[in-house]
Amino acid sequence: MAAPWGPAQLREEMEVGNGVALVAAHDDGPCGYAFFRTCFPECELLHLVVAPEQRRQHIAATLLDHALARFAEQGYTACLLEVRASNQAARKLYARAEFRQTGSRQRYYSQPVEDALLLTRFLLADTGESL
């Protein structure tokens, strides 16, 4: 099983000057979040998480779509991310969001050791549409 971010890592990420955090809330409080790092004109998705009991309700897609539209409006030209090669659910989500594989990193992940696929979504700042 992949090692999740701990509370200290989440706090640190929220304090980064060029970080962007989006949180999805449900009746009982937060149910998902997405962390991005920005270096204009690009942004990178670092972490996208939905609580297990809230999955399959389009929360991840909504967070991702909202963030990509916001970044496009702000003039960003691309969003990058890494995903485990075996993470089929995430890969389907990113494919629906028009991310394309642009590379790979061998043995990038640990716990377990696994390759990462590098994905990119190109953005048009003036229309918010993808290339």
CATH number at residue 50: 3.40.630.30
Residue 130, in any domain of the structure: no
- According to DSSP, the residues that pair with 37 across neighbouring strands are 19, 44
Residue 103, in any domain of the structure: no
pTM here?
Answer: 0.85
Angstrom distance (rounded) from CA 17 to CA 110: 27
Residue 17, in any domain of the structure: yes
Residue 46, in any domain of the structure: yes
pLDDT digits (tens, 9 = 90+) for 99-116: 999 999 999 999 899 999
Residue 49 pLDDT class (50, 70, 90 cuts): very high
The structural domain count of the chain equals 1
Mean per-residue pLDDT over the chain, rounded: 89
Burial of 40 (0-12, 13-18, 19+ CB in 10 A): exposed
Expressed as residue numbers, the domain containing 32 is 7-86+108-122
Residue 95, in any domain of the structure: no
Report DSSP state, residue 123: B
Burial of 106 (0-12, 13-18, 19+ CB in 10 A): exposed
What pLDDT is stored for residue 30 in this prediction? Answer: 85
Q: Which two tokens stand for residue 35?
A: 């962390």
Residue 43, in any domain of the structure: yes
